[in-house]
Structure 1
Amino acid sequence: MNFVSTRGGVAPTPFDAALVAGLAPDGGLYVPESIPRVDLEIPRATLAATAEAVLAPYLAGSQLRTHLAALCREAFAFDAPLRPMRGAGDHVLELFHGPTAAFKDYAARFLAAALGALRAPGTPDTTIVVATSGDTGAAVAAAFHRRPGFRVAILYPDGKVSPRQSHGLECWGDNVQAYRIAGSFDDCQRLAKQALADTALRAERPLGSANSISLGRLLPQAAYYAHAAAHHHGAHGRPLHVIVPTGNLGNACAALLAQRMGAPIGSLHLACNANDTLPRFIAGAAYAAQTTRATLANAMDVGAPSNIERLRHWFADDDALRAALRATPVDDATIRDTIAAAPAQHGIVACPHTATALHVLETLRAAGDTRDWAVVATAHPAKFDTIVEPLIGRTVDVPDALADCLARPASAITLATDFETWRQALRAG
């Protein structure tokens, strides 16, 4: 299968070339030329098997096609369980059982394994550039740590992630370097895109991307939605409706992709924090990026979501997009209230991001919606102990993998937001 740019300025590109490039040469995001239909109502035995079924049509003609089963087993080695909550028809899709306790572990591991398999022996090291608002950087660092042929440069907004998230970005060493940027996530994302679009820099130092702009992040994330929906449909004979916490819209695009491929997914509702660029747009306003606001759900602190280009590409026009999706902003006060009430009301402990989706679920139930809904739990609450624990009145157990990260020493380089300083740091790295 070939892939095209959301901006229309690039000839159809094979999967392998699009994966390695990350960003399309015209500055757009790669999308499939067409979205294939796959029988995804069949409940497959493992998440890895579902991932293989989802990814197979996209890798037709790829050098990776014969390695796909092994790549999926490596990337999806831990489950993404769909568990019932206390309310009738209420479920939580837990995506935090990987090495850095966040949903981004699945796709980051697939991307690292795929790029490693494509790398020709003797070629120069590739620097994977990743901007993060909290969880992406750690997942990418874990996936590429000590992987031959790769270096990782993580950009994150100084002071705008939780203490444990910050440690998880800085604790790797070896081939991973974290950079604290004196600005917002949007500044980090801008610097990453500028570097990837700098042909002179890329000629001097090969660069790759691991943000949700990468196909290697987008496509694998459709697997856990397809897997959960298939098993729910197989058990109950009904579609699964899904509430996705989202900021840069990568996870939201993956859910839409799974739905369009044929997974038995009903409605999609996007939960945002106070950065309400998307909810304003879905409600009918002209699309307009906004200055990012810092919130408790910091991994969603995005005022200019990159993946809006993919969403708009997949619909005939903005009206069609607005008819297909709903998006709700949730402020910090509501996030706090939802976290505090979640153990008694839902039977779970929620991170701030998951809390935005729980609030949307509560709103839907209050309005009389009786359909089966899954709230997507994107990160383990232990990553946000300073927020969650005072609200629930007890400590949150730390998963073993996260505890291992927290036990390592951490360090980072502080940079300003100007591109030339960042460019020189990449050249010297």
Structure 2
Amino acid sequence: MQLYNLKHPSQQVSFSEAVLLGLGQDRGLFFPNEIPRLHNIDAILALPFVERSKLILGAWLADELGQEVVDQLVDHAFNFNVPLVHVDKQRMCLELFHGPTLAFKDFGARFMAQCVNHLAADKKLTILTATSGDTGAAVADAFYGLDNVNVVVLFPQGKISELQQKMFTTLGKNIHTLAVKSDFDACQDLVKHAFEDSQLRHDISLNSANSINISRLLAQICYYFEAVAQFKKVHDCDPVISVPSGNFGNLTAGLFAKAMGLPVNYFVAATNSNDTVPRYLVDGQWQPQRTVATMSNAMDVAEPSNWPRVEAIVAMMQWPKEVVRGVAVDEQQTRESLLQLAQIDYQSEPHAAVAAAGLAMCSKEGEYGLFLGTAHPAKFKDVVDRELAVNLALPKELAKVATKPCLAKVIDADFTPLRDYLYNGL
């Protein structure tokens, strides 16, 4: 598998190099020269999830890593269920929160950890990542206790749920956490700034676990195939898929799946009030505004890093622009969606509520679809309890960290304290 830097196409790398580099020159994203096309899709959809995932990822990676290695990576990464649940006559929810940190990020983070562990061998690495909520926990869990990897997680102070935060700020050992006095976009910018510092990258063998890392995106392709496989057992049409969108890595993976041959009618890119992409899809003007804090905080992203990949896929496949339809769901609409789901006996959380609303707003008569449930409702217990007048019980994964002390250090949104920490604080 060969990839190129979207900003500097002359920079060509292998999958192994892309995983260990994270970003290319000038903060450029790595993008595949070719997208493998699968055939006999019906037979592929009939396979069990893990077996199918080995085939899907083998199409990308077997030529470089060998199919046996790919199979081992998948076996270690994908060991939890992916149910597709009926919500109402037109909508289903793909529940992606049955992994160890109760969020969809477990798929990409666990696969990336397996890839890094395989590729780095005995080399000491530093993983630097920014989180708007669930990435931090998934990455921390996936890399926790690995001898040759230090993980540094940046998160916006006071802007993610307390239980989300507890899942990665209470671990210690090789997991280091920094609360940045700003928003997620500032955290993401600090990560990108670190990657531009060539001396720092070299000295601490810097890598990133954000969805800018291609290994995470490839892993996420697999659950789109699982969604359609289960959907086709109920419907004989192609689904509309609504994706709660913040940094747009999740949508990117879905588009890769469609490019590989997965039958999807179209995608709904459902954002909250941080609506840069929906506005762009209407007027063609890329005009990020100041990040707005919402109840769906993991999607509070004004400048989504993965959007260039979305455009690159659409251009490569020569799809009409309608393959991605953007919709912004404001706070009141999110609240109404959450309540409406509860009234039909489906307890959800704000991010999935945004996707459910986006699906309802975009779907036409006779269309059937699914939305992605990206996190367990209890990860947003404060919001869900308040909006639905309930008292959610904590699953064991959250209960065991709820009373543990936060170990995070607080820093300004400035590169100098981050650089000092990376050199002297690990």
TM > 0.5: yes
Which one is further off, 3-12 or 153-162?
A: 3-12
Residue of structure 2 in register with 1:349 after alignment: 347
Q: Which residue of 2 aligns with 1:419?
A: 415
Q: Aligned match of 2:372 in 368, 373, 376?
A: 376
> d(CA) in 2 for partners of 1:81 and 1:170?
29
Deviations 1:166-224 (A, max 9, x none): 21230111000110000110100000011122110012111111000001111110100
User: In 2, Cα distance between the equivalents of 1:58 and 1:332?
Assistant: 39
For 1:390, the aligned partner's letter is: R
Cα distance, 1:407–1:147 mapped onto 2, change above 3 Å: farther
* Residue 138 of structure 1, CA deviation: 0.8
TM-score between the two structures when normalised by the length of structure 2: 0.95
Where do 1:90-239 residues align within 5 Å?
90-121=91-122, 123=123, 125-239=124-238
Partner of residue 15, structure 2:
15
For residue 65 of structure 2, give the secondary structure of its aligned residue in structure 1: coil
Deviates more, 1:64-73 or 1:21-30: 64-73
Runs of 4+ residues deviating >4 angstroms: none
Higher mean displacement: 30-39 or 186-195? 30-39
CA distance in 2, matches of 1:359, 1:383: 20
SS where residue 52 of structure 1 aligns?
helix
Deviation of 1:374 after TM superposition, in Å, equals 0.3
Written as runs of structure 1 = structure 2, the 5 A alignment for 1:25-424 is: 25-39=25-39, 40-41=41-42, 42-63=44-65, 65-85=67-87, 87-121=88-122, 123=123, 125-316=124-315, 322-345=321-344, 347-364=345-362, 368-424=364-420
2:62 touches 2:70 (CA, 8 Å); kept in 1? no
1:194–1:65 CA distance, 2 compared to 1 (3 A): farther
Which secondary structure does the structure 2 equivalent of 1:265 belong to?
coil
Alignment TM-score, normalising by the size of structure 1: 0.94
Deviations 1:82-111 (A, max 9, x none): 1111x2132110001111111000110000
Q: Read off the aligned partner of 1:21 and give its amino acid letter.
A: L
2: CA distance, partners of 1:77 / 1:226: 16
**Structure 1: 5+ residue runs without aligned partners?**
none
**C-alpha displacement of 1:61:** 3.1
- Paired amino acid for 2:246: G
CA RMSD after TM alignment: 1.9
Q: 2 CA distance for matches of 1:4 and 1:267?
A: 27
User: Does the 8 A contact of 1:64 with 1:118 survive in 2?
Assistant: no
The answer to whether the Cα contact below 8 Å between 1:75 and 1:109 also exists between their aligned partners in 2 is: yes
User: Aligned partners of 1:62 and 1:263: how far apart in 2?
Assistant: 24
Compare 265-274 and 229-238 and name the one that shifted more.
229-238
Query: 1:178·1:413 contact (CA, 8 Å) conserved in 2?
Result: yes
Inter-partner Cα distance in structure 1 for 2:160 and 2:113: 24
Going from structure 1 to structure 2, the CA distance change for 1:129 and 1:387 (only over 3 Å counts) comes to same
Letter in 2 for 1:286: Q
Tell me if the contact between 1:10 and 1:25 (Cα under 8 Å) persists in the aligned partners. no
**Does structure 2 retain, via aligned residues, the 8 Å contact 1:82–1:93?**
yes
1:5 and 1:323 map into 2 onto residues whose CA distance is: 26
Quick check: 1:284–1:322 contact (8 Å CA) kept in 2? no
- Percentage of identical aligned residues: 35
5+ residue gaps, structure 2: none
Report the residue type matching 1:91 in the other structure: M
CA distance in 2, matches of 1:92, 1:169: 27
Q: Is the 8 A contact 1:63 1:118 kept in 2?
A: no
